[in-house]
A and B are shown apart, each in its own frame.
Chain A
Amino acid sequence: MGMTVVEKILAKAAGLHSVKALDVVEPRVNLAMSHENAALVINQFKEIYQGTGREPKPWDSDRIAIVFDHRVPAEGPKTATNQKLIRDFVTKHGITKFHDIRGDGGGICHQILPEFGYVRPGYVVVGTDSHTTSHGALGAFAFGIGATEMASVWTLGVALNIEVPPTIKVVVTGTFQPFVGPKDLILHLVGRLTAQGANFRALEFHGDTIANMTTSGRLVLCNMSVEAGATAGLVPSDRETEHYLRHEAGVREPIEPVVPDADAVYEKVVEIDVSRLEPQIACPHSVDNVKNVGEVAGKHVHQVVIGSCTNGRLDDLESAYQIMKGHKVAQGTRMLIFPASSRIYLRALETGYITEFTRAGAVVMNPGCGPCLGVHQGALGDDEVALATTNRNFKGRMGNPKSEVYLCSPAVAAASAIAGVITDPRKGGH
């Protein structure tokens, strides 16, 4: 029987000839990623060793990645102390893939891992972050786990009792209209599947739209696959994957593509033609509450955010730049921009985007998760409305349960920042 990409990856990682959906396997882990919540992982890791008479020691210091991004620079003493504790652990155990708060190598974990070539096609990647699904964009099986499960991976090097997820095939065809792109596609898909439509399942993306899409766009799709509940999103590796890994990530080692068998078994097939897809917007307070942007156009926004692991890459900033150049952010609206990594930040300096954003009245912040999860760097006041290129709009997500968050593409965000109200970028005055 033919296998999907997830099945092929898990069969190989578990040392089996083949697996099928719902089999239970113990795959070897190629990469285990954490951010500041490594503080909890370390606590649980030490607890596993309690009473064993053994010294806590990770199974492979080269396969652990730790990236500070959720609260950088530290917003308070508790975070700063957690970060210090993690640094000490990193030094003690010689963890090589560590990205501290630095202007020359820091950023959001889901940007750093692809950018530094840590993820390869066929890898099993686990991360203590639900958006670990992002890394499926490079043909890996990547999924989010909790801190205790990560402590178990650090101990044993395998993920225990993994149920092979059934796969939903998503076939995407057609060419996007101007100002419409991957974010609109994934919002549309989440709206169609619903917030739990892919719970315990994997999404595998196919079709000419995907074949023609850059890795940056594929990262958007896989990143937000979890918003439909998916265990993982995957784009089978192809020439674009190899191009990205060679030229962007500087990978020199052989790359082994993993593609599904022609007779792979899918739970179902979802087909989407993007040629008439309009800019999409996810309305409060759930990511599957998706509408055409025209339905909410004209709504005043107090804060516009461009950034996050979903849409903080150079092409996202370029899309915003093209719309914003020569314009000003509307009075009564604040605009915050967070490049996803320091490498992107530097390129945005070189290309002049940051100068233009700043002249326009936007505040360009340091790379990191920013206000996405409601910790710092852009809290909302009572009854305020935010429009963000981030990935979640749950009640209270940006730190204030009395505020509202709408989700959109960088193009919609930029056009709306100029107008001060939610705006269809195809109709803006820019």
Chain B
Amino acid sequence: MGQVVLKLGKDISTDDIYPGRFMATVLPTETPQFCFFDRTDFNAKLKARTIPPGSVVVADENFGCGSSREQAVSTIRGHELVIVAKSIARIFMQNAINLGLNLTLCPTIEAEEGDLLEVLPGKVRNKTRGREFAALPLPPARQVIIDAGGLIPYTRKKLLEQPVR
């Protein structure tokens, strides 16, 4: 269960999540400082650690559109934020699965900042408003990557199945 700490509109780009001018910073250990950098107040709260892990960012359609920069995922994951979005752009979704970002596709989600959300199997419950919204399952081909703990362990397993080059 987590509180909605940021509510976003549609077509939120990876430039918004992680501005291009910080792209020389690549390591997942270093990217969290620039999370939603140009949303100055929100970034300040993240840096001050006043937003607890498990807090929720609710987004409208096409979240994470634009650049394939993986920093946009690692920066959110670094703060252990949960994403609940109406729809998600393809590359962002794949990157999120690969890195183990907690995300849920919920096409009808209604929530405001401050609401308490509970992400459950197949649904999202807005406890503040006493309503439930159906969540879409991720395609099975992607679920196996999640189950393996991300693309790095999944690839490592496949590598070890191959003879040494």
Chain A contacts to B: CB under 8 angstroms: 24, 36-37, 39-40, 43-44, 47-52, 54, 57, 59, 70-71, 75-76, 78-79, 82, 128-130, 132, 144-149, 151-152, 155-156, 160-161, 163, 195-196, 199-200, 229, 231, 286, 288, 373-375, 392, 394-397, 399, 401
Residues from chain A with a CB closer than 8 A to the CB of B91 are 130, 144-146
Known: A145-B91, A145-B94. 6 other contacts (CB 8 A): A71-B23, A148-B98, A160-B151, A374-B21, A394-B15, A396-B16
Q: Is the CB of A373 within 8 A of B68?
A: no
Complexed CA–CA distance, A156 and B145 (Å): 15
* Residue in chain A with minimal CB distance to B90: A200
Q: In the complex, are the beta carbons of A148 and B152 less than 8 A apart? A: yes
Q: Chain A residue with minimal CB distance to B15? A: A394
Contacts of A396 in B (CB 8 A): 15-16, 19, 38
Contacts of A70 in B (CB 8 A): 23
The smallest beta-carbon distance between B8 and chain A, in angstroms, is 12
List 30 A-B pairs, Cβ < 8 Å: A37-B70, A48-B159, A52-B159, A57-B165, A76-B24, A78-B24, A128-B70, A129-B68, A130-B91, A132-B68, A145-B68, A145-B91, A146-B68, A148-B70, A149-B95, A152-B154, A152-B155, A160-B151, A161-B141, A161-B142, A161-B144, A196-B65, A196-B87, A199-B89, A374-B19, A375-B20, A395-B16, A396-B15, A396-B38, A397-B13
Which of B62, B71, B152 is A199 in contact with, Cβ under 8 Å?
A: B62
Query: What is the minimal beta-carbon distance from B137 to any residue of chain A, in angstroms?
Result: 14
Q: Which one, B20, B62, B140, contacts A195 given CB within 8 A?
A: B62
**Contact: A40 with B26, CB < 8 Å?**
yes
B159 & A399 in contact (Cβ 8 Å cutoff):
no
* B139 to A: closest C-beta gap in Å: 6
CB atoms of B24 and A82 under 8 A apart: yes
Task: Check if B21 sits within 8 Å of A399, measured CB to CB.
Answer: yes
Q: Contact at A37–B26, with CB atoms within 8 Å?
A: yes
Interface: B5 (CB within 8 A): no
Q: How far is the CB of B112 from chain A (nearest CB, A)?
A: 22
A374 to B21 CA separation, bound complex (whole angstroms)? 6
Distance in angstroms between the alpha carbons of A373 and B20 in the assembled complex: 6
Q: Which residues of B contact A152 (CB under 8 A)?
A: 151-152, 154-155
Footprint of A on B, CB under 8 Å? Answer: 11, 13, 15-16, 19-21, 23-27, 38, 61-62, 65-71, 73, 87, 89-91, 94-95, 98-99, 139-142, 144-145, 150-152, 154-156, 158-160, 162, 164-165
Identify B159's interface contact among A156, A195, A231, CB under 8 A.
A156
Smallest distance from the beta carbon of B96 to chain A beta carbons, Å? 9
| A residues near B16, Cβ cutoff 8 Å | 394-396
Closest Cβ–Cβ distance, residue A146 to chain B (whole Å): 4
B144 near A146: Cβ-Cβ < 8 Å? no
Question: In the bound complex, do residue A373 and residue B23 qualify as a contact, i.e. CB atoms below 8 Å apart?
Answer: yes
Ordered nearest first, which 8 A-B pairs have the shortest CB separation? Answer: A373-B20, A146-B95, A196-B62, A40-B26, A24-B141, A146-B70, A78-B24, A161-B141
A residues within 8 A CB of B155?
48, 151-152, 155-156, 160
State whether A147 touches B70 (Cβ < 8 A): yes
- A149 x B159 contact (CB < 8 A): no
A48 and B24 form a contact (CB under 8 A): no
Q: How far, in angstroms, from A231 to B94 measured CA to CA in the complex?
A: 12
Task: Please state if B87 and A199 are interface contacts (CB–CB under 8 Å).
Answer: yes
Most chain B CB inside 10 Å of its own CB: which residue of A146, A147, A394, A397:
A146
A-chain residues with CB within 8 Å of residue B98 when the two chains form the complex: 146, 148-149
**Contact residues in B for A145 (Cβ distance below 8 Å):** 68, 91, 94
